[in-house]
């Protein structure tokens, strides 16, 4: 059995991801988020959970949100602060997230974060902790990998080489290789199927408001591989 570790708590990998923007398949992950926020967000206070080196925190600020970035990785937070000295980046541990302020945020964003969180109860506890941070009309937006991502190749990822992915179930470790960074080492994620996401949301007392799956339209300036016919990403919009 493979043992999961957070591969982003690594100086070399953190540095490799520090300047990653929105190329290729990543473009599709972010493309629909502004429209989702416009439809659902009732205010501009945001927390970016699992902010890494601050890419999504800066993305939120560019779209008019007063955003705080939080992460469990000291390496990632240090680089986020270097790249964005005026930003607000904080190191956090596990739930509850009392230091961030219960009921303080209109938006919680988690870009790919739950791809790296093992264990059903752990996921439920974290979701409940994030839900407690939301204002009464606040929303939590999760952008995560679909099961299809791990058994196909993409503009930004090589995945088909990892045969264990093809037999994975919820909670199992799956592997990818990212084409858009210098660090060519495989990345380990945790697979979670749609029905198990929904069950975890329910257990954390969160309502599912919208589910979207991102497909390329074929007009984008990227050399798509499977993105026009298979969705690499799923967006969950949740409320308290």
The residue extents of the domains of the chain are 11-144+196-239
Say which CATH class 11-144+196-239 falls into: alpha beta
Tell me what the mean pLDDT of segment 126-138 comes to. 98
Confidence class of residue 63 from pLDDT cuts 50, 70 and 90?
A: very high
Query: Which residue bears the tokens 């408001």?
Result: 209
Tell me what the mean pLDDT of segment 1-8 comes to. 48
Mark 51-66 as b/e (b = at least 16 C-beta within 10 Å). Answer: bbbbbbbbbbbeeebe
Token reading at 153: 């190749």
pLDDT of residue 180: 83
Tell me what the mean pLDDT of segment 105-125 comes to. 97
Higher-pLDDT residue of 96 and 1 is 96
Residues 6+ apart with CB under 8 A from 50: 70, 71, 72, 110, 111, 112, 113, 116
Sign of the CA dihedral with 204 first, then 206, 208, and 212 last = negative
Sign of the CA dihedral with 3 first, then 16, 116, and 162 last = negative
pLDDT of residue 183: 82
pLDDT of residue 2: 43
Question: Which has the minimum average pLDDT: 12-16, 100-104, 131-135, 226-230?
Answer: 12-16
d(CA 34, CA 68): 17
pLDDT of residue 213: 97
Tell me what the mean pLDDT of segment 182-194 comes to. 92
pTM: 0.92
Confidence class of residue 116 from pLDDT cuts 50, 70 and 90?
A: very high
pLDDT of residue 11: 65
pLDDT of residue 23: 84
In degrees, rounded to 5, the angle at the alpha carbon of residue 8 between the alpha carbons of residues 29 and 33 is 15
Token reading at 21: 């923007």
Does 3 score more than 50 pLDDT?
Answer: no
Of residues 23, 11, 33, the one with CA closest to residue 179:
23
pLDDT of residue 140: 98
Cβ atoms of residues 10 and 77 within 8 Å: no
């Amino acid at each position: 059995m493979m043992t999961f570790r957070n591969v982003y708590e690594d100086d070399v990998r953190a540095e490799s991801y520090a300047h990653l923007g929105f190329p290729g398949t990543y473009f599709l992950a972010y493309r629909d988020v502004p429209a989702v926020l416009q439809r659902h967000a009732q205010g501009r206070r945001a927390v970016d959970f699992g902010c890494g080196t601050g890419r999504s925190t800066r993305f939120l600020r560019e779209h008019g949100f007063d955003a705080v970035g939080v992460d469990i990785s000291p390496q990632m937070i240090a680089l986020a602060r270097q790249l964005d000295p005026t930003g607000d980046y904080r190191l956090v541990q596990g739930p509850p997230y009392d230091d961030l302020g219960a009921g303080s945020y209109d938006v919680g964003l988690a870009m790919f974060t739950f791809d790296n969180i093992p264990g059903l109860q752990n996921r439920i506890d974290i979701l409940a902790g994030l839900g407690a941070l939301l204002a009464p009309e606040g929303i939590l937006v999760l952008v995560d990998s679909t099961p299809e991502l791990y058994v196909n190749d993409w503009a930004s990822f090589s995945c088909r080489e990892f045969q264990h992915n093809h037999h994975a179930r919820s909670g199992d470790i799956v592997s990818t290789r990212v084409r858009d960074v210098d660090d060519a080492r495989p990345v380990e994620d945790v697979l979670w199927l749609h029905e198990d996401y929904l069950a975890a949301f329910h257990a954390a007392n969160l309502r599912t408001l919208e589910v979207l799956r991102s497909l390329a339209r074929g007009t984008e300036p990227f050399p798509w591989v499977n993105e026009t016919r298979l969705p690499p990403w799923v967006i969950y919009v949740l409320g308290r």
